[in-house]
């Protein structure tokens, strides 16, 4: 059996940041809907800006959730055992 390539830290951090930002944007969209507004009334730029603000305010919670989720991705699941052994 072939030994898997070592985990690329830059790729891992990028995936982590993307998942955290995605969660932030989703939460912003939930807040918009909760106020009775439609998400379609906001541009992508506005939602991204609001998501970045939300990310700054809730950084720790978003990153810890993203850290749990990133290991569930098929492209990173194979490294799970490798990192726990180190």
* 83, pLDDT greater than 70: no
pLDDT of residue 18: 93
Average pLDDT, the chain: 88
Instruction: Evaluate whether 63 touches 19 at the Cβ level (below 8 Å).
Output: no
- Encoded tokens for 77: 């699941």
Global pTM?
Answer: 0.79
* 15, pLDDT greater than 60: yes
pLDDT of residue 58: 97
Compute the half-sphere exposure of residue 41: CA atoms within 13 Å on the CB side of its CA.
7
Is residue 19 within a helix (H) or strand (E), and if so which, with residue range? helix 9-34
| Four-point Cα dihedral 31, 62, 15, 18, nearest 10 | 30
The rounded distance, in Å, linking the Cα atoms of 1 and 43 is: 49
- For the stretch 53-75, pLDDT in tens is 999 999 999 999 998 888 888 77
pLDDT of residue 12: 85
pLDDT of residue 4: 67
- Encoded tokens for 24: 């932030």
Mean pLDDT of 15-37: 96
């Amino acid at each position: 059996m072939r030994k898997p390539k070592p985990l690329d830290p830059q790729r891992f951090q990028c995936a982590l940041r993307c998942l955290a930002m995605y969660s932030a944007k989703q939460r912003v969209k939930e807040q918009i809907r909760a106020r009775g507004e439609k998400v379609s009334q906001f541009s992508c730029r506005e939602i991204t800006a609001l998501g970045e603000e939300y990310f700054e305010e809730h950084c720790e919670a978003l990153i810890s959730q993203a850290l749990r989720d990133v290991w569930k991705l098929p492209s990173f699941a194979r490294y799970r055992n490798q990192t726990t052994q180190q």
